[in-house]
Structure 1
Amino acid sequence: MTKILLAVLALVAAPILGALITGVDRRITAWLQSRYGPPILQPIYDVLKLLGKQPMLVNTWQALCAYVYLVGAALSVVLLFTGSDLLLIFFVLTIGAVFLVMGALASPSPYSQIGGQRELLQMLAYEPLLILVFASIAMVTGSFKVSAVFELSRPMLYDLPLMFIVLGYALTIKLRKSPFDISASAHAHQELVRGVYTEYSGPYLAMIEIAHWYEVILVLGICALFWSTSFVGMIVLVALTYMAEIIVDNVTARLTWRVMLKSAVGMGLVLTVVNLLWLYAQ
């Protein structure tokens, strides 16, 4: 019964909280750029407006891809809230991301095609980092179960400080923030078209936006696991992490996909090896 309640809470509360976080993100971004910025509830207004528009599709495959992407993002959050397996969460999230790319590649638009190809490159960059983080968590807890993290006697951040940096790197790429917003930009910093989202509109674009809200909660929830011994500590850690992401997003320029791949793989491997050696030396 408890897991059912947590699942319902995840399905209902996660997109609302994700929308509010996105609204705060936009407002802080505007402040950093000396603008007033939109209302915090603007993401919700945008999605409601999109839901009221007439569906327009290049082909029906895009509709299926939008649905699968949303279901994958929502299900991954539910699995996290119910203490499921980290690897299962990873695979569900990946399936949704793959369908997003397939929807973009299903369109003959060059903007959509390039966006889809760049999204694949981003997946190649952040997915190995997530695997390394999850494997490190399993080495500390003895299990890939999320619930095992809450059985630790002290915050996991003490044992895996460098892996938290690796997770932050993956978070930046996954949320498509500068300097790694090469497939699409949440705030349209550098482009007039939105890459992988170009050919989506109306209700289907709304689904993708809602899926993004779920993903925000998912990645921040994984960050919160590093201070699982205190709810207040989890909130503070998540707030500081996301604030750092916003600042980095606004003070850095977009890098090339080659730099993204090389830095992600190189940095991820080096920090992982150093952290695990330090962990075993204790």
Structure 2
Amino acid sequence: MNTHYAWWLAIAFVVLGPLVGALLAGIDRRLTARMQSRQGPPILQPVYDVLKLFEKDTLVVTRLQTLYLWFFLLFMVISGFILFLGSDLLLSLFALTVSGIFLCLAAYSTNSPYSNIGSSRELMLMMAYEPMLILVPLGFYLTTDSFRVADIVAGSPWQVLQLSGILVGFLFVLTIKLRKSPFDLSTSHHGHQELVKGLTTDFSGSDLALVEIAHWYENVILLGWLYLFFAPWGPWLALPIAFALFFVEVLVDNTHARLTWSSTLKATWWVTLLVGVTNLMLLPLVV
């Protein structure tokens, strides 16, 4: 990957990432509405919502809450910057994980029972999906001898077949990372699931807007991870496949009832063990 091109791509992520993430969220809402025989909101509705949040009063329980949310957003941007710069995928994952921890700390700092329960569920979900996420860069390392995103993009066209089990496992935990049913345990984005919002119950105004913007960045990062599996095929083929798989998650979200936390933990670890670890163990035989 050309160095200048990589820097421009990373800067484009910082500047345009929220817009792309907002468009993904808007298309998600529109598809969800059509699946439920509704007209649905405008595709730019997430942008309108966040702009309105910045105009509202921010009720702050503790100043630490806002500080932690800024760190949540900062490390999310760092994670994506590393990814789109073509640098170390493992370092990008580390920044993504630290970002999630700051979100939990922000919710815990409010000392609200609803936020505390949401934070506990979020940490439990991290226990569920992190092992599978760690297997992704390990799998790429075994096929390319490098953790660098630039080397992964320039890898073998056959790597998606060599990492097919890890891809299946990643798609499984992607549902958790996108906070979709049946694994939406910490934020309850569907109104019929909970009477309160969970993790973000005590966030309002600009604080809640920061959370939404960070989630937009996160959606783009996750789409970038998905793209890496197909990157050697070229962007004209890899991007449509990544987008198609990304929006399969919308279908899953609208066709599955939410699981309990214990069922989620067991199912995720079983999938990680059966398809992720097994694929990793068999890789030396096929590479």
Which bin holds the TM-score, normalised by the shorter protein? over 0.9
2:114 maps to what in 1? Answer: 111
Shift of 1:182: 0.3
Contact 1:30–1:36, Cα closer than 8 Å, also in 2:
yes
Q: How far apart in 1 are the matches of 2:266 and 2:258?
A: 15
**Identity across matched positions, percent:** 44
Corresponding residue of 1:223: 226
Q: Which runs of 5+ in 1 are unaligned?
A: none
The AA in structure 2 aligned to 1:28 is L
CA contact (8 A) 1:156 1:228 kept: no
Does the CA-based 8 Å contact 1:6-1:82 persist in structure 2? Answer: yes
Please show how residues 204-243 of structure 1 align to structure 2 within 5 Å: 204-229=207-232, 230-243=234-247
Per the alignment, residue 254 of structure 1 pairs with: 258
| RMSD, aligned CA | 1.4
Q: Distance in 2 between matches of 1:156 and 1:220?
A: 18
| In the alignment, structure 1 residue 75 sits paired with structure 2 residue 78 | yes
The answer on 1:65 being equivalent to 2:42 is no
What secondary structure sits across from 1:228 in the alignment? helix
**Is 1:89 the counterpart of 2:71 in the alignment?**
no
Between stretches 144-153 and 64-73, larger displacement belongs to: 144-153
Query: Could you tell me how far apart the structure 1 residues matched to 2:190 and 2:240 are?
Result: 25
Residue range with higher mean Cα deviation, 247-256 or 103-112: 103-112
Q: Which secondary structure does the structure 2 equivalent of 1:35 belong to?
A: coil
Distance 2:186 2:199 in 1: 6
Q: How does 1:1-282 map to 2 (within 5 A)?
A: 1-229=4-232, 230-282=234-286
Q: Shift in Å at residue 160 of structure 1?
A: 0.7
Displacement after TM superposition at 1:5 (Å)? 2.1
CA contact (8 A) 1:155 1:226 kept: no
Which runs of 4 or more aligned residues in structure 1 lie more than 4 Å from their structure 2 counterparts after TM superposition? none
* Cα distance in 2, alignment partners of residues 172 and 157 from structure 1: 20
TM-score by length of 2: 0.94
Deviation string for 1:91-116 (max 9, x for gaps)? 11111110110111112221111001
Paired with 2:221 and 2:228, the residues of 1 have a C-alpha distance of: 11
- The answer to whether the 8 A contact 1:224-1:235 is kept is yes
Equivalent AA in structure 2 for residue 70 of structure 1: L
With structure 1 as the length reference, what TM-score do the two structures score? 0.96
Q: Return closer, same or farther for 1:135/1:188 CA change in 2, 3 Å cut-off.
A: farther
- Across the two proteins, how many residue pairs are aligned to each other? 282
> Quick one: which amino acid aligns to residue 47 of structure 1?
V
Q: Are residues 277 and 112 of structure 1, via their aligned partners in 2, closer, same or farther at CA, if it must alter by over 3 Å?
A: closer
